Amino acid sequence: MDLSLSKTLWTRTSLVLIAGLLFVGYTFGAPRETAIEEKMGVWIGVITSRWDLARGHYNFIEYGIAVPNYTAAIKKRHNVDVTFDDRGCIVTSYERSYARAYNDVMKRALYARYGVDVVEEAEQEEYKRFKP
């Protein structure tokens, strides 16, 4: 079977699924907007993370006020990128659920690959480095 055909089919299927979820969520989700946004965030986060894993791209999504200290350690040790969105305290329920679902899938995949929680390991390494 031609590998490029399956990637094309996967891409088209993912895009159609995402477009359908967006249409249904925003058309019928007016009264319970937050619940629909959270579910859409989870679904799209899982789909996106699985797509990145299929391409061999490991990433974590973080948001907040300051960049987490472990980003350099996790990149150096396991070649995992950390995408940081400097949104401060203003994060929508969609973004929160998307990042949580995306990171959960990535953590499970990295645990299966390395046998350790790579985020916890990087945080501990940074803590030891800066410990007074």
C-alpha 49 chain-centroid distance: 6
Q: Which tops the pLDDT comparison, 63 or 26?
A: 63
| pLDDT above 90 (res 102) | yes
pLDDT at 80: 87
- Provide mean pLDDT across the span 20-49: 76
| pLDDT above 70 (res 83) | yes
Residue among 60, 27, 31, 26 at smallest CA distance from 45 = 60
pLDDT at 103: 93
| pLDDT above 60 (res 115) | yes
- Provide mean pLDDT across the span 86-100: 82
pLDDT single digits (tens) 43-75: 999 999 999 999 999 999 888 776 667 788 888
In this structure, are residues 25 and 18 in contact, taking their beta carbons and an 8 Å threshold? Answer: no
